[in-house]
Structure 1
C-alpha cells in the first residue's frame, strides 16, 4: 500500500475504491460501529487503505502522540452546526485524528449564547472531558465567556481567536486564499478580473479582498472599484453582482467569487446573458462546497481546510499546549486550489462587452 501524501483531498469514496468495498462499509469501519458484523480481514483492509491514502489528514498534518488522551473524551463546542458544512468537516477532521486512540468526541451546539455555553462546559466536565475545542462557524475574534477562562482542562480555538491570543487557535489563511484564487486567473492571462465579495464586515471577506488586491498589485494590474461588487454569500447575491459586472462598458474576462454559492448565482447570470463558461468568462469560487462538483462546467475553487484544522485542534489538546499565561499566535492554514473546468485564458472579443457566443 502506497503511503505517498495525497495531492488532493481524499474522500471516503477513494478509501472505498482502494479497499474494494462500499462507502457505507468504510463509514462503519472508520466510525467504529460495533453492532454491524464486518470480517476482520475487511476491517483491516479498510483501515490500511485509509492510512495509506492519508484519509482525513491534511498535507500539513501528521498524527501526533495522543497517548495521554487515550480512552478519554474531549468536548467540541460550536455555535452553529446546521447552517454550513464547515462545522461538520472540522468535527470529522477531529474524529479522524482521534479514532485510533479511542477518544470520544462529545459535540454541543450553543448558538453563541453564554448560558448555553456555560451549561455545555459543565456537562462536558461532568462527562470527564480532558479538553475542549471551541469553534466559531465564521472566522472572527471572540470574547470568551468567563467559564472558559476558568477551565481546569486545555482549550483550543478553531476558526476563531481572542484579542490576547491566550489559547492555541487555528484559522484559514484567507489573505493567501484570495491571492491564490486571483493568481490562478492572472497566470492564464487575465488582466481584467472582477471579484464578488461576501459581506465586508466579516474577516473572511475582508482578507480575501486583501489577497485579491495583493495579487493584482504584484502583477502590475490596476485595482478598479467597479470590478468589486459586494454580495452576501447567497446565490441570489452572486446572480445580481454578476449582472452588474456584465453591465459595465468594459466587462471583466474573469470573476473571482468569494464563495461557491455566489459562484452558482454567477453561473446562472452568465448563462442568461448567453455566455459560455469558461470560453466567454472564467469563474473561480471558494470553499469547495459540494455544489462545486455539480455545476456545469465543474467549478474550480479553493478548499477551506476545516478537516485538517479539526485534526490540528485535537493534536494541540494531546500536547496540552493550551498553557495559561503564554501567547499563542493563531496558526494559519493554507486554502488549496481544487482545479476543475471553469477556467481558461481570455479570448478575443470579450473585453469590450461583446459576447463571443455567436462565433
Structure 2
C-alpha cells in the first residue's frame, strides 16, 4: 500500500470516481472526450477529496517536449552506460531525445536533478539504479514525481524504489543466490563479500540472495564478512586490500557489481595473488568488458540494455491505476575467475 501524502493526488480522484487517470485528467481540465455527467461526477469527487491540481506543474506539462529525462547514479559506470544505450535506442526509434544527468548516489542531488528536468519540460523521466532501503530518503523525490505525473508527465524506474511508479525490476535476489551457490559448490567456505552501501535496495536484495544460499549450505552468515566500500573499481581495490589484511584465509570474494570485481582483480594481481588458484572472484551485472578480462570474470548477467529499453516503453504507455512491475531475469555466467577451493 502506498504511504499517504499530505494532499490527494489525481490517481486518488480517479480511484474514488472509478475512472482512469487519463479520464480524470480530461474531466478536470475540461478537455473534450468526457461526457458532462461523468465530468461532473469526477469534479464532485475531487472537491470531496480536497484535490487541487498543481497549476505550475500543469503549465510545465502542457508545454512538455518529446525529451526523456534519464537519471543515473554515474554515467561512467558500465552498468549505467549500457542502460543508457537501451534508453537512447528506443528514444531514437520514437523520434525523441534524451537528457542525461547523474547523481553520485546522493538523494539530494537526485531531487535537484529531477526538479531541473521538470523545469526543462521533459515529457518523461526514467530513474535508473538502486533506490534506498529507508523509504523516507526517497519521500521528497516521490512527492516531486507525483506532482509531475498528476500533471501528465510519465515516470518509470529501474530497480527497487519507494517511488510508487512503474518499474523494471532485475532479479537481484535470485542472482545473488545463484552466484553464492556457484562458489559454495566449488567447495569454498571462507568467503568474503565486497559491497557498496548497504543502504541501497540493490545491495540489500543481492545480499539477501547470498544469505539464502549460505543458510541452505549450512554456512553461518556471521562467518562471512561483508566489506562495504564505494560501488566502484576504487572501492573494489580498497575492499580487496581489507580482505588480504583482515581475512587472509579467504578463498573466494563475491563482489556485488562488476566494477568492484574488476578493482578487486587488479589489487589481487598487484599483491601477487593468483586468481582463481588462490582466491576466486565473482562479479554481478556482466558488463561488456567482463568476458575480456584476464582471467575472464564469472558474474551474474542482467539484460541492462533491455532494462533501459523496457523502462522507456513503460513511459510510452497510458498510465495504469496501479504501478506496473516488469521483472527481468538474472543468469549466472561461469568464466575463468572461479575455481575449486584450495586444499
* Aligned ranges 1:224-239 → 2 under 5 Å: 224-225=222-223, 227-239=225-237
What's the TM-score, normalizing by structure 2?
Answer: 0.66
2:49 counterpart of 1:88: no
* Distance in 2 separating the partners of 1:178 and 1:342: 17
* Residue number in structure 2 paired with 1:175: 173
- Partner SS, residue 229 of structure 1: strand
Query: Over the residues paired in the alignment, what is the CA RMSD in angstroms?
Result: 3.1
* Aligned ranges 1:1-359 → 2 under 5 Å: 73=66, 75-80=68-73, 82-97=75-90, 99-100=92-93, 102-109=94-101, 111=103, 112=109, 114=111, 116-124=113-121, 129=123, 132-140=124-132, 142=138, 143-144=141-142, 145=144, 147-159=147-159, 161-163=161-163, 165=164, 167-225=165-223, 227-247=225-245, 251-320=249-318, 322-323=319-320, 326-328=321-323, 330-348=325-343
> Residue 173 of structure 2 contacts residue 209 of structure 2 at CA under 8 Å; is this kept in 1?
yes
Per-residue CA shift, 1:66-117, capped at 9, x if unaligned?
A: xxxxxx94523315563423443223213444655x4323324375465653
Taking structure 1 as reference, are residues 115 and 184 closer, same or farther at Cα in structure 2, changes over 3 Å only?
closer
Taking structure 1 as reference, are residues 155 and 261 closer, same or farther at Cα in structure 2, changes over 3 Å only?
closer
> Residue 135 of structure 1 contacts residue 160 of structure 1 at CA under 8 Å; is this kept in 2?
no
Taking structure 1 as reference, are residues 335 and 76 closer, same or farther at Cα in structure 2, changes over 3 Å only?
farther
* Residue number in structure 2 paired with 1:28: none
Q: Which has the higher helix share?
A: 2
* Distance in 2 separating the partners of 1:183 and 1:247: 26
Taking structure 1 as reference, are residues 116 and 236 closer, same or farther at Cα in structure 2, changes over 3 Å only?
closer
> Residue 301 of structure 2 contacts residue 331 of structure 2 at CA under 8 Å; is this kept in 1?
yes
* Distance in 2 separating the partners of 1:308 and 1:185: 28
* Residue number in structure 2 paired with 1:61: none
* Distance in 2 separating the partners of 1:86 and 1:302: 12
Give the aligned length.
266
Runs (4 or more) in structure 1 with deviation over 6 Å come to none
Taking structure 1 as reference, are residues 157 and 148 closer, same or farther at Cα in structure 2, changes over 3 Å only?
farther
* Distance in 2 separating the partners of 1:272 and 1:93: 36
Taking structure 1 as reference, are residues 96 and 116 closer, same or farther at Cα in structure 2, changes over 3 Å only?
closer
Which runs of 5 or more residues in structure 1 are unaligned?
1-71, 349-359
Taking structure 1 as reference, are residues 265 and 116 closer, same or farther at Cα in structure 2, changes over 3 Å only?
closer
* Distance in 2 separating the partners of 1:196 and 1:110: 23
Which runs of 5 or more residues in structure 2 are unaligned?
1-64, 104-108
* Distance in 2 separating the partners of 1:160 and 1:81: 17
* Residue number in structure 2 paired with 1:69: none
Q: 1:237 deviation in Å? A: 3.6
* Distance in 1 separating the partners of 2:71 and 2:338: 35
Q: 1:160 deviation in Å? A: 5.1
> Residue 168 of structure 1 contacts residue 329 of structure 1 at CA under 8 Å; is this kept in 2?
yes
